[in-house]
Amino acid sequence: MPGSTLLTERPETAARTRPGLVLVALLTCQLMIVLDATVMNVALPRIRDDLGFSATGLSWVMSSYTLVFGGLLLLGGRAGDLLGRRRLLVAGVVVFTAASLAGGLADSAAMLVAARVAQGLGAAMAGPSTLALLATTFTEPRARMRALALFSGMASAGFAIGLIAGGLLTEWLSWRSVLFINVPLGVLIVVLAVRHVREPERHPARLDLLGAATGSAGIAAVVYGFIRAASDGWRDGVTAGSLVAGALLLATFVLVEARTAEPLLPLRLFADRNRAAAYVNFLLGPMAGMSMFFFLTQYLQDVHGYGALTTGLAFLPMAALVFATTRLIPVLLPRFGPKPMAVTGALLMTSGVALLTRLGTDTGYVAGLLPSMLLMGLGMGLAFAPLNVVIMTSVPPADAGAAGGVLQTMQQTGATLGLAILVTVAGAATRDAAAGGAAPEEVLVTGMTHAFLASVAIGAAAVLVALTFRRE
């Protein structure tokens, strides 16, 4: 039919002539997904009071999203390769937007958690296709590098932007607006994607259902185990059972992928040394960096008495520096290669966390916290933006969705794993300090500084991995 031909060709033509709108759609999608990992943090006290969450139940406002998102990312990435990346992007954003609206209208704790689960499903569908579409839409090397650097900046700065946005919306409107803001963003993304994003060539194949089941269940079990460890400790039976089950399922997943003709996760993605190192550092970086967001929000509010808005704005210099640094990646990466940038970025990020180990109850923002935030912002911008380029420019187009899914799985698992480890370290130090008769604020700060020490160790591991990059 002529009409149907026009409808199928129109987005392709528009995508070639309006690359700026394609970039806006994809970057907005990435920002929306990343924001929801942190934007709820500063709103949690008001959500608890409004919907009657228990102290332990409140953690599921964050964990339910993380669990579903992390567990289904690999499946979402491969499904995009097989079923159509633009199609899965649009479907995922629709699910995410509808879930956000339902969450904002929630009148019970159960309804809000269910909405967060649906948000995680939508994010897992849309996230990997967002990155894959960037890599396949911008084919000219310099344009692709610029687009991927902006994507990385949006991903890294999004954690801090989420705190700022959450503080603004919670302070000025209500916690429900933190979810409602996704509705106009989702509508904008869908309109731009349908009109301007070109659907890449699909690669028809059978979906690896056994791999999908073992991989998704394994990741979900590991993520749940670490979430459980943060609240119930490492000796809890359910924690141990989840981690053991997750490890067994992931081992089975690797065996399945090695023997499957059309795997969910092509193991050849790890054959290249630079790409493998980039994946490992996408795991270690968020493990080390999450401590700053989680603990400093508590420090600013509980020790210094900052409000939600002021707490969010305190992270603005770091977010701005991350995003500004990524703008330099198209110039710096061709000149220096990934190794010097990854090593320098990891060193700066680790140095920023190391400064926080000297935190005290009377540490000021300008003299004590701001230098650390600036080092972290510069380090994250230099360390992670090149990794996106290394991974996504070295895979064949047929594997772009799978490569993006693995990348985001590493980020999500690293953040969850790191937070669980650091909370456990902080909890042990806090109990010791309390037993010694320290004041409440000193107890809190003691736990945080011990967690920052653990972050420094993880950051040092990221530096060592960065040293393994080949010079190019």
For residue range 424-434, list pLDDT tens digits in order.
787 778 877 77
The answer on pLDDT for 28 being more than 70 is yes
Classify burial at 438, counting beta carbons within 10 Å of its beta carbon; exposed 0-12, middle 13-18, buried 19 or more. middle
- Of 115-124, 226-235, 276-285, the one with minimum mean pLDDT is 226-235
Q: Could you tell me the pLDDT band of residue 5, with boundaries at 50, 70 and 90?
A: very low
Residue, of 142 and 349, whose pLDDT is higher: 349
* CA 150/CA 324 separation, integer angstroms: 9
Q: Could you tell me the pLDDT band of residue 101, with boundaries at 50, 70 and 90?
A: very high
The pLDDT of residue 6: 35
The answer on pLDDT for 93 being more than 90 is yes
CB–CB of 88/80 below 8 Å? yes
* CA 244/CA 68 separation, integer angstroms: 19
What residues have CB less than 8 Å from 194, skipping those under 6 apart? 11, 90
Greatest mean pLDDT range, 225-229, 251-255, 331-335 = 251-255
The long-range contacts involving 179-184, CB below 8 angstroms and separated by at least 24 positions, are 179/100, 179/101, 179/103, 179/104, 179/115, 180/100, 180/101, 180/104, 182/32, 182/36, 182/96, 182/97, 182/100, 182/101, 183/97, 183/100, 183/101, 183/104
Greatest mean pLDDT range, 34-48, 185-199, 253-267, 313-327 = 185-199
CB–CB of 82/204 below 8 Å? yes
The pLDDT of residue 58: 67
* CA 197/CA 120 separation, integer angstroms: 23
The pLDDT of residue 203: 61
Q: What percent of the chain has pLDDT over 90?
A: 10
Residue 59: name the closest of 431, 457, 472, 420 by CA: 420
Residue, of 408 and 24, whose pLDDT is higher: 24
Q: What percent of the chain has pLDDT over 70?
A: 88
> Mean pLDDT of all residues in the chain?
79
Residue 231: name the closest of 423, 436, 98 by CA: 423
Q: Could you tell me the pLDDT band of residue 9, with boundaries at 50, 70 and 90?
A: very low
At 237-253, the pLDDT tens digits run: 888 898 899 899 989 98
Report, as an integer, the average pLDDT of 277-282: 87
Residue, of 6 and 228, whose pLDDT is higher: 228
Residue type, 270: F
Where residue 307 falls (left for φ over 0; alpha for ψ -120 to 50; beta otherwise) is beta
At 449-461, the pLDDT tens digits run: 888 899 999 999 9
* CA 221/CA 413 separation, integer angstroms: 11
The pLDDT of residue 157: 65
CB–CB of 382/344 below 8 Å? yes
Report, as an integer, the average pLDDT of 380-401: 74
- Give the global pTM: 0.74
The answer on pLDDT for 95 being more than 90 is yes
Residue, of 191 and 307, whose pLDDT is higher: 191
The CATH class that applies to domain 2-207+264-466 reads: mainly alpha
The pLDDT of residue 99: 94
The pLDDT of residue 55: 55
* CA 471/CA 124 separation, integer angstroms: 34
Q: Could you tell me the pLDDT band of residue 277, with boundaries at 50, 70 and 90?
A: confident
The answer on pLDDT for 10 being more than 60 is no
Report, as an integer, the average pLDDT of 39-54: 75
425 φ, ψ (degrees, to nearest 5): -60, -45
The pLDDT of residue 114: 92
Q: Could you tell me the pLDDT band of residue 13, with boundaries at 50, 70 and 90?
A: very low
The pLDDT of residue 420: 73
The answer on pLDDT for 376 being more than 60 is yes
Q: What is the DSSP string of 401-416?
A: HHHHHHHHHHHHHHHH
Provide the angle, in degrees to the nearest 10, between the axes of the packed helices 370-392 and 329-336: 70
Q: Could you tell me the pLDDT band of residue 15, with boundaries at 50, 70 and 90?
A: very low
Residue, of 313 and 436, whose pLDDT is higher: 313
* CA 126/CA 26 separation, integer angstroms: 10
Quote the tokens at residue 195. 């009109």
Distances 355 to 92, 302, 347 between C-alpha atoms, Å: 40, 20, 12
Residue 119: name the closest of 72, 166, 86 by CA: 72
Report, as an integer, the average pLDDT of 289-302: 76
Report, as an integer, the average pLDDT of 159-173: 74
The answer on pLDDT for 14 being more than 60 is no
